[in-house]
A and B are shown apart, each in its own frame.
Chain A
Amino acid sequence: MIQKDLTINNKHGLHARPAAQFVKVSSQFECDIWVERDEERVNGKSIMGLMMLAAPSGATISISTDGSDETEAMNALEALVVGGFDDE
């Protein structure tokens, strides 16, 4: 299992569009993906779950991947989050 803390750095935080992008990437991998913030832990393949985290810009989320392709999954998700989801 890999675990990494990342900062949400797009302007509006983890709203619907970034959440959908996150799930579009995470769904491509076999491994289990979890996202945690403020002791709330949601499935990283669930749009509704990610939106319920209500993570604003500047918040730290903790992503963990667990499974055969956990490294690739983590790399892809890290690139997405660090890149600000290409959100304006």
Chain B
Amino acid sequence: MDVPVPNPSEDAPILLDKNQNTSKAPIRRLKSMSVRDFYESYQQSLQLVLVGSESGFERKIIEPELNRPGLALAGFYTYFAEQRIQVIGNAEHSYLTCLETKDGLARFRELCRQAVPCLILARGHSLPKAFMDEAHRLQLSIFQTEMASMHFLNAATIRLQWAFAPTTTEHGSMVDIHGIGVLLRGESGSGKSETVIGLIDRGATLVADDLVRFRRIEGGDIMGTSKEVGRNHMEVRGLGLINVMALYGIGAVRLEKALNVVITLRPADDIHQLERLGLEPKTYRILGLDLPHVELLVAPGRDLAKLIEVAAMDVKLKVFGHDTAVEFNNRLLRKLRDHRDV
């Protein structure tokens, strides 16, 4: 059945149609991390030493947060963050050890019975053998770290937040131009890779080609990186694979970069109306953050690398507080006000 569809050209705003775009790429998020993965990933950076048994290695970490179980050891379980890694610091350790051994063991057993992922003994503390045996029996792994509790809490939180942060991948290339992270989008064959080579020639550094992986901790920047397998390489039509690091040197590549602007290359015959002045800012949303979005027409003879370099520098200018289009128009408006021909 035919349904009447309003003509999109009617009633359309005169200047611009859609200023806000959102990435359609799926967002992924780590649901859980086993204690084994936690230990293997952060053994060095968090100075973890396994002092208990491996019996608790299959327990799952599902919250990127940590807890100090002081109140729980005192017997209060009404509010207890049992899904968090538990950190035993000076306070908890001296509380446990100053109780009569039997009483302390009972308190400790109760903690081990909870669904906690694992225990961390900060400041290199250790527990009596009876305690360790109890943890083994209840299949809970215990690690020791030389770090002080607060230091450990901060360092572990940062790493866990990062591991559990939402990620997505965008089809496109990412470069760092004068400190501005640029995602270059466009249909296959729109000339992204050639443009990236032009940019590298002008001193830009390559972050990722063809596929960029983004990750963002809530409230933070969007960090872009390449999948490890494709790192430092590009595929250029007619040339095949090229190794950017081998050709241009280590200075031409970087591992990761915060994303500042999205640039989309559009075919020259695209009737899509492009913004002429920059007064109607366009945005492109990735992982919940709206980034400035520039759309460029690809036409023969256009030096895209040069245009993109200018676009990146204009974004930098805005970061420093200068919005060219707005400032220009304000100047014009002042002049128009002063010379009103009425």
Interface residues of A (CB under 8 A from B): 12-17, 20-21, 23-24, 47, 51, 54-60, 86
Task: Give the secondary structure class of B's interface.
Answer: loop
14 pairs of residues in contact across A and B, judged by CB atoms under 8 Å? A15-B333, A16-B279, A16-B328, A16-B329, A17-B15, A17-B279, A21-B15, A23-B276, A55-B336, A56-B335, A56-B339, A56-B341, A58-B342, A60-B341
- Write the nearest CB–CB distance from B272 to chain A, whole angstroms: 13
Indicate if the CB atoms of A47 and B276 lie closer than 8 Å. Answer: yes
Interface size class of chain B, counting residues whose CB lies under 8 Å from the partner chain:
10 to 19
Interface residues of B (CB under 8 A from A): 14-15, 273, 276-277, 279, 325, 328-329, 332-333, 335-337, 339-342
A56 to B333 Cα, complex, angstroms: 9
Indicate if the CB atoms of B276 and A20 lie closer than 8 Å. Answer: yes
- Write the nearest CB–CB distance from B326 to chain A, whole angstroms: 9
Indicate if the CB atoms of B273 and A24 lie closer than 8 Å. Answer: yes
Residues of B within 8 A of A56 (CB): 335-337, 339-341
Given A47-B276, A56-B341, A57-B342, A15-B336 contact (CB < 8 Å): yes
Residues of B within 8 A of A60 (CB): 341
Residues of A within 8 A of B329 (CB): 15-17
Indicate if the CB atoms of B333 and A12 lie closer than 8 Å. Answer: yes
Indicate if the CB atoms of B341 and A59 lie closer than 8 Å. Answer: yes
- Write the nearest CB–CB distance from B41 to chain A, whole angstroms: 52
Contacting residue for A57 out of B15, B325, B328, B341, CB 8 A: B341
A40 to B273 Cα, complex, angstroms: 29
Indicate if the CB atoms of B342 and A20 lie closer than 8 Å. Answer: no
- Write the nearest CB–CB distance from A9 to chain B, whole angstroms: 10
Indicate if the CB atoms of A16 and B342 lie closer than 8 Å. Answer: no
**Considering the complex of A and B, which 3 residue pairs feature the smallest CB-CB distances, nearest first?**
A13-B336, A58-B341, A16-B329
Residues of A within 8 A of B339 (CB): 54, 56
Residues of A within 8 A of B279 (CB): 16-17, 20
A17 nearest CB neighbor, chain B only: B279
Contacting residue for B15 out of A14, A15, A20, A51, CB 8 A: A20
Residues of A within 8 A of B340 (CB): 13, 56-58
Residues of A within 8 A of B333 (CB): 12-13, 15
Of B332, B335, B340, most buried by chain A (CB within 10 Å of CB) is B332
18 new A-B pairs (CB below 8 Å) besides A16-B325, A51-B332, A56-B339?
A12-B333, A12-B336, A13-B336, A15-B333, A17-B279, A20-B15, A20-B279, A21-B15, A23-B276, A24-B15, A47-B276, A51-B328, A54-B336, A54-B339, A55-B336, A57-B341, A58-B341, A60-B341
Residues of A within 8 A of B341 (CB): 56-60
Residues of A within 8 A of B15 (CB): 17, 20-21, 24
Indicate if the CB atoms of B276 and A15 lie closer than 8 Å. Answer: no
A85 to B90 Cα, complex, angstroms: 72
Residues of B within 8 A of A86 (CB): 14
